[in-house]
């Protein structure tokens, strides 16, 4: 299997100081890939800067100029959660460009699958607003670019970050060419992603939200993937699968209350890879979103690569969660989501 990692030190120059979304996240990932001997198994691809024209496929040009101007003026806080430094605009254009480069390499058959290890993350960024640590919506920009340049009929985006990807949802809410599926803790930031949000107009039925209660772990996520995500993606039959990969659902992550393990992530990725192999010749791209416990994040990214490479030895240095004795019963929730989305 030809699997690529997309990375550049420019991502470290998005200097957020002591913010939870900081350069140490990527430094921990790269260090772990090197220490475990996995890095030589990956085909490195250098990202490029996305052009203003490419970014404007998703974002308002005045908003893009605002982000650039803020960086040139030294950075600053865009909202209570989202901060910029002088190099943040450049890093953000390379994050979007990294996602584009990964998708193009997969579509062109240069590689089988890829993981864009980028920051700042993107799935909260809307047409005119930065939010939730995100400046430009990397996965949405990559999807729009592929739709335009390669005339692809259908793309599926699977988002397993702990937060709902509101920016990605609204970018495609009326677009029948893109299936957006999100698993997320609910109610929680940003407050969107109820089961009733299924798309509008021509896009009705191409948004599937799976809002999960706090405390869900492997035993809840895997039935969700098997009973909702698998049939939804198969019915849509995409030519490419993109993944907003947020690892903040790990039980050791302090930003939320989910209980997924590293092994659980490996099982979820295996299901997604199986869908890509069956439906779209294995064409699969992961783009990094959240994940703030560096040990859990780096181990989870590593097992994602392991699954993509076909490595069968999955190592979980943190094991299962010691925190919750009783996980929630989501049987009725799964039933309701299947009914709303006509998956029965």
The DSSP line for 71-89 is HHTT-EESSSS-EE-TTHH
Q: What is the pLDDT of residue 325?
A: 65
* Cis, bond preceding 120 (omega within 30 deg of 0): yes
- Catalytic residue annotation: 124
Name the token pair of 118. Answer: 């980028």
Task: Decide if 183 contacts 164 (C-beta within 8 A).
Answer: no
Instruction: Show the low-confidence residues of the chain (pLDDT under 50).
Output: none
What letter would DSSP give residue 206?
A: -
Which candidate, 24, 21, 22, places its Cα nearest to that of 32?
24
> Which residues neighbour 317 within 8 Å (Cβ) at sequence distance 6 or greater?
262, 295, 299
Q: What is the pLDDT of residue 326?
A: 79
**Alpha carbon distance 220, 223 (integer Å):** 6
Domains of the chain: 3-340 (3.40.800.20)
**Alpha carbon distance 272, 293 (integer Å):** 24
Beta bridge partners of 335: none
> What's the whole-number average pLDDT of the chain?
97
b/e per residue 234-259 (b: at least 16 CB within 10 A): eebebbbbbbbbbbbbbbbbebbbbb
Q: What is the pLDDT of residue 321?
A: 84
Torsion angle in degrees (nearest 10) through CA of 188, 189, 190, 196: -20
């Amino acid at each position: 299997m030809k699997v690529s990692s997309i990375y550049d030190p420019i991502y470290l120059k998005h200097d957020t100081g002591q913010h939870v979304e900081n350069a140490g996240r990527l430094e921990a990932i790269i260090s772990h890939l090197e220490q475990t001997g996995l890095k030589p198994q990956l085909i490195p691809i250098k990202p490029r800067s996305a052009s203003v024209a490419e970014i404007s496929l998703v974002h308002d040009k005045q908003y893009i100029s605002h982000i650039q101007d803020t960086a040139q003026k030294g950075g600053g806080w865009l909202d209570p959660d989202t901060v910029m430094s002088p190099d943040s605009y450049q890093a953000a254009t390379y994050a979007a460009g990294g996602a584009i480069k990964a998708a193009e390499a997969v579509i062109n058959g240069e590689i089988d699958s890829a993981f864009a290890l980028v920051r700042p993350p993107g799935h909260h960024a809307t047409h005119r607003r930065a939010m939730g640590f995100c400046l430009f919506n990397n996965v949405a920009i990559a999807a729009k670019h592929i739709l335009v340049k390669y005339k692809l009929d259908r793309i599926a985006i699977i988002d397993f970050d702990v937060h709902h990807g509101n920016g990605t949802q609204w970018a495609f809410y009326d677009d029948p060419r893109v299936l957006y599926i999100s698993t997320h803790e609910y109610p929680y930031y940003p407050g969107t992603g109820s089961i009733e949000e299924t798309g509008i107009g021509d896009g009705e039925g191409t948004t599937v939200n799976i809002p999960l209660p706090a405390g869900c772990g492997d035993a809840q996520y895997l039935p969700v993937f098997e009973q909702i995500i698998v049939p939804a993606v198969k019915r849509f039959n995409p030519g490419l699968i993109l993944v907003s990969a947020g690892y903040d659902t790990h039980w050791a992550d302090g930003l939320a209350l989910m209980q997924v393990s590293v092994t659980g992530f490996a099982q979820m990725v295996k299901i997604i890879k199986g869908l890509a192999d069956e439906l779209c010749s294995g064409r699969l791209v992961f783009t990094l979103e959240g994940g703030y416990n560096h040990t859990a994040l780096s181990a989870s990214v590593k097992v994602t690569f392991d699954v993509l490479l076909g490595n069968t030895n999955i190592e979980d240095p943190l094991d299962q969660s010691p925190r919750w004795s009783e996980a929630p019963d989501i049987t009725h929730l799964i039933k309701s989501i299947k009914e709303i989305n006509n998956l029965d």
